[in-house]
Amino acid sequence: MQTQLSFANLSRIETELLAVLATDTQTSKAPDAKPLPVLLTADEAVKAAAAAVLASGEYKAGANETLLLHAPAGLAAKRLLIVGLGKQAKATVNNVRNAAGTAVRYAKPRGIREVVLSLSELLQESAACNVRATVEGAFVGDFDPDTYRSDRKDQSIQSFTLAIPATAGKAAVEAAFAEAVMIGESQNFTRSMVNEPGNKLTPTMMGQRAAAMAAEVGLKCEVSSTEKIKELKMGAFWSVAQGSEEPPALIVLRYEPAGVTEGPVLGLVGKGITFDSGGISLKPGADMDKMKYDMAGGATMLGVMRAIALLKPRVRVLCVVCATENMPDGKAQKPGDLQTAMSGKTIEIINTDAEGRLVLADGLTYAKQLGATHLIDAATLTGACVVALGMINAGAFSNDDATYAKFDAALATSGEKFWRLPLGDEYADMIKSDIGDIKNTGGRWGGASTAAEFLKVFAEDTPWIHLDIAGVAWVEDSRPYIAKGPSGIAVRSILEWVRSY
């Protein structure tokens, strides 16, 4: 998608589709006055073109509600699309992000390949903040998962222009626009990987894609397999990989900005299970096809690293992704087996379907060995987190309040929803093993917290955040602003956390 920024007079822009935002606003102080939609633009010609239909009350400007006008009088645009933000008092920058996605997704199936979206100085947030959200939302809206349809019709938007009043700070707006393009493309890079079927993205192929991306944006990259994993004594990682005919991939990326030799080294660790059958503890057949997305945590970290390489923050970052399949082969580990992790901790295997924490355990240890002073991991880890938070919030855990505060502050910019869940000795007691150090599952209750306590054993005293994205990494039903399929959750949030350093 080609993107550009325009400071031109809105009514004179020639385009297939001009999109303008609107809010549900109380325009009169009379007690019986009803809210009427208000266009967020100072352009009198645009307001005049929509005045009659807005006054009719047919359109309420609800969040992501759309209204299309053909051949709007007084405008050079062929069509005028009005997209609602909802009630003005409750509208946030994330409403703006979603509205941009809604405009793009409205155009796609209608054969409209050119969209101009207007941002107004009437929005409460800063121009730069809204610019970034709008462009990110447009990229999110442009993604569709139908990659392998034989009769696929390319409905992608060819040109997206953001029109903003010339009164806005031009330098700040241009910088925000450029950043947002890099972030939007990186989020869609993650989504494209998560969307791939397990036979089209094996661990080896995931490593190849990581290496190609790294070469493109200038990251250091090393991809190794079985021999290296055994050399490092990654017994937890190998215990999962040993059951698959597909060789595993240990992916390591490094971002080292010139002149930065001191300060923190941020370690990003991702779960890369390219297909999860459950192993010997076989999953039910229903919805097992979705287990191709069990590498979403790893793909998230690769998308973050892509954005980091392009945005060039002044902090060192390394990334470890442990990629493998979890399969029920004759060589696969069994419930009751005992494994020794890279750290030397022994793990009793209670359920082979609790495999994500095993690969993350060695990934966290290795990231520390490579020099990470702060850790963050992401994984589609537990169904228990989905039960607790639904498909609305992702779960977050941390052993350090100051480190988590930086992540929490990043959410205001990213617009993503995370909810901090508890750790504690009581949960740690639930994963104590009679035969070894710990068990890989603590039973049915508190499953998200016991899984996090398992990972905390390997983070040790290093400041650490764990993100359980199981409920939100896949969008179950299409929404006005995003297609059904991979969401790319956490790319924006982790990126802002990195930039906070």
Which residue numbers are catalytic? 283, 357
Residues 421 and 449: beta-carbon distance below 8 Å: yes
Tokens 């051949």, located at residue: 71
Instruction: Report d(CA 99, CA 49) in Å as an integer.
Output: 20
Picking from 3, 300, 307, the residue whose alpha carbon sits closest to that of residue 141 is: 3
Instruction: Report d(CA 115, CA 68) in Å as an integer.
Output: 13
Picking from 20, 2, 1, 21, the residue whose alpha carbon sits closest to that of residue 10 is: 20
Instruction: Report d(CA 378, CA 263) in Å as an integer.
Output: 23
Start-to-end C-alpha separation, the chain? 31
Q: How large is the greatest C-alpha to C-alpha distance in the chain, in angstroms?
A: 79
Tokens 């209204």, located at residue: 67
Look up residue 213 and give its two tokens.
């991306």
- One-letter amino acid for residue 343 of the chain: S
CA dihedral 477, 483, 487, 492 (to 10 degrees): -130
Look up residue 403 and give its two tokens.
């480190």
What totals of helices (H) and strands (E) does the chain contain, helices first?
Answer: 14, 20
CA dihedral 44, 48, 54, 60 (to 10 degrees): -30
Residue 20's φ and ψ, nearest 5 degrees, are -130, 140
